[in-house]
Chain A
Amino acid sequence: MSPSVLENNALYQSIYSAINWVMPDFLDSIVGYAAAFAMVMLVANLVLVITPLFIWFERRILGRFQQRLGPNRWGPFGLLQPIADAIKLIIKEDIVPRGADRLVFNAAPVILFMPVMLMVAVIPFGTQFYLVDLNVAVLYIIAVGTLETIGIFMAGWASGNRYALMGAVRSVAMLVSYEVPLVMSLAAVLLWAGSMSLVEIVDKQPVPLILLQPLGFFVFIAATIAEMNRAPFDLIEAESEIVAGYHTEYSGMKFGVFQLAEFASVVVGAGFITAIFLKGAAGWSFLPSPAWFSLKWLAVIFCIIWIRATLPRVRVDQVMAFAWKFLLPLSAINLILVAVEMVIWPSPNGAQLWMIGLINFAVAAVAIAVLATALGHRNFAPRSPQIPTSTVVGEKVV
């Protein structure tokens, strides 16, 4: 019996026929399971292979941004550097602090890594190249993504270290805040596509959605970067403030798994941005669809690295203000704008699409400019250090 969810899955069908051809006849009953397992292995390992490549890519690109070379010793262009790093991490001593809650401490890296792998299931890597076409895919991504919080909290709490706990608390506060604009910006996409399935969202885009909902794209990419805990929102592991945040006490491969989960979440998140806002695997026919997906994916990943290389880390109070006072109003404006346009032009033709795009770009520019100037002076200006001058003056500061 093949599960109904796989009936229309071309990837599954091709793997099924390949395995059916290889397998001897008396094993026919398990071909379906073998094919499903092979498919899961293929897609899961795809991400596990891409993530080390991404780590190498990021380090090289960051090196370029900072006018140095980056890893270039082992393998061609230093491509084998992640493997060397992994071997180094594996042979390091595995330390569990004495005050730690041993069970939770050891489980945390696994719990943190699981949601990232679960999210891979719904990415459409090509027109017929996906694990499963869930009809609640977008909601599924958000739901599974929230589970990462629990992994981070477990790590921070079980370490028995104040810095780790502080990092975990920061992360929870941040993730909870950024969930709101993230969901609001996705709501506009769902309204537009009329479906929560990623495959259908890709199909329903006449042009890449970034051209029609620039404001939604801006909010989504900002909130996603915050959810990934990456610079400029990486204050849950701000080295200058709280050592390394929730994974301060971790060493060896457990630390490695944390790093892997973090980088994998960037890879997966960039995949979602590609699918939702860049029309996924669509493109001209001289390249196969997975190639188009990979190209767009690479572009998104490059932009995320670019943002990391350019912007300095924001302060704790700025992070909250950014989510609630800047991104949330923007996503609300976007949602209302898209809803109104959906009523006026239910099925837009070419000229109307141009109009929608132009209006939305204009509104995005105005809204961002107005909100940024209104909030900029109050929330993002550098604070003068608050030293009670009356007590310092006249006393000897030791």
Chain B
Amino acid sequence: MSVLTVAFWVLAVWGIASALMVVHTKDIFRAALFLVSTFIAVAGFFVILGAEFLAVVQVLVYAGGISVLIIFAVMFTREVAQGNQPNRYYGIGLLLGAALFLVLAFTVVSTNWFPEFHNTEEADAIARGAFSDSSGGLGALLREKFILPFELTAILLLAVLVGAVALVKER
């Protein structure tokens, strides 16, 4: 059993356990903390898969950004320790959850997990795994092939920033 296998199982158990705790903890604040833990476990998977740039961005955006936003929202919630009572959105939530599960299950089943590589170099590059230089390639792709989505995202973010300033501006 290689180190990567051990790391995979540790991360898998950690990720799923904390994901379950997010759903089953009544205290929303603790649920948010378990969500952070799940995010970090997912970042660990990215490291194993050799996508260290994605791993770092995962920590930066999800564990450091989104979760702080969630915790901030928790501050405005009353009766944090009791949690939510089941309400009339129960059915819709169930439906959405089932739909999400189906989409994910379909993705898992339909993906070819063992692609045939065109040459051994490519296979070697993937087998080398962690800490190969993927960020440079990602940057080149963003600048050349995906320049339009990249710029559109930038414009969207700028619009969001301007909108946020306009919303809170004192009149």
Q: What is A's interface to B at a CB cutoff of 8 Å? A: 1, 3-5, 101, 103-104, 134-136, 139-140, 142-147, 149-150, 153-154, 157, 165, 169, 172, 176, 196
Contact mask for chain B residues 60-71; partner A; CB cutoff 8 A; 1 contact, 0 none: 100111011001
Beta-carbon contact of B64 and A104 below 8 Å: no
**Number of A-B residue pairs at CB separation under 8 A:** 73
Beta-carbon contact of B52 and A147 below 8 Å: no
Beta-carbon contact of A146 and B56 below 8 Å: no
Q: Choose among A153, A176, A196 the residue with the greatest number of B CB atoms under 10 Å from its CB.
A: A153
* A-B CB contact pairs (8 Å), 28 listed: A1-B3, A3-B130, A4-B131, A5-B131, A101-B27, A134-B52, A135-B131, A135-B136, A139-B57, A140-B56, A142-B60, A143-B57, A144-B59, A146-B59, A146-B63, A146-B65, A146-B68, A147-B59, A147-B63, A147-B64, A150-B33, A150-B64, A150-B68, A153-B68, A154-B33, A157-B71, A172-B68, A172-B71
With A139-B53, A140-B56 as contacts: A104 and B30 at CB distance below 8 Å: yes
Contact mask for chain B residues 136-160; partner A; CB cutoff 8 A; 1 contact, 0 none: 1000000000000000000000000
Query: 20 new A-B pairs (CB below 8 Å) besides A4-B128, A4-B130, A196-B135?
Result: A1-B2, A3-B130, A4-B129, A5-B130, A101-B30, A136-B135, A139-B56, A139-B60, A142-B60, A143-B60, A143-B63, A145-B64, A146-B60, A147-B63, A147-B64, A149-B68, A150-B36, A150-B63, A150-B67, A150-B68
Q: Choose among B29, B33, B130 the residue with the greatest number of A CB atoms under 10 Å from its CB.
A: B33
Beta-carbon contact of B72 and A143 below 8 Å: no
Q: What is B's interface to A at a CB cutoff of 8 Å? A: 2-3, 27, 29-30, 33, 36, 52-53, 56-57, 59-60, 63-65, 67-68, 71-72, 75, 81, 128-131, 133, 135-136
Query: Complex: how many Å from CA A261 to CA B132?
Result: 32
Task: Return B38 CB to nearest CB of chain A, in Å.
Answer: 13
Task: Return B41 CB to nearest CB of chain A, in Å.
Answer: 14
Query: Complex: how many Å from CA A213 to CA B80?
Result: 47
Which B residues touch A146, using CB under 8 A?
A: 59-60, 63-65, 68
Which A residues touch B131, using CB under 8 A?
A: 4-5, 134-135
Which B residues touch A147, using CB under 8 A?
A: 59, 63-64
With A1-B2, A1-B3, A135-B135 as contacts: A172 and B63 at CB distance below 8 Å: no
Q: Choose among A135, A143, A146, A147 the residue with the greatest number of B CB atoms under 10 Å from its CB.
A: A143
Contact of B59 among A143, A165, A176, A196 (CB under 8 A): A143
Beta-carbon contact of B52 and A135 below 8 Å: yes
Query: Complex: how many Å from CA A302 to CA B59?
Result: 32
Task: Return B16 CB to nearest CB of chain A, in Å.
Answer: 20
Q: Choose among B57, B71, B81 the residue with the greatest number of A CB atoms under 10 Å from its CB.
A: B71
Chain B residue with Cβ nearest A33:
B3
With A104-B30, A134-B52 as contacts: A153 and B71 at CB distance below 8 Å: yes
Which A residues touch B3, using CB under 8 A?
A: 1, 3
Which A residues touch B52, using CB under 8 A?
A: 134-136
Which A residues touch B67, using CB under 8 A?
A: 150
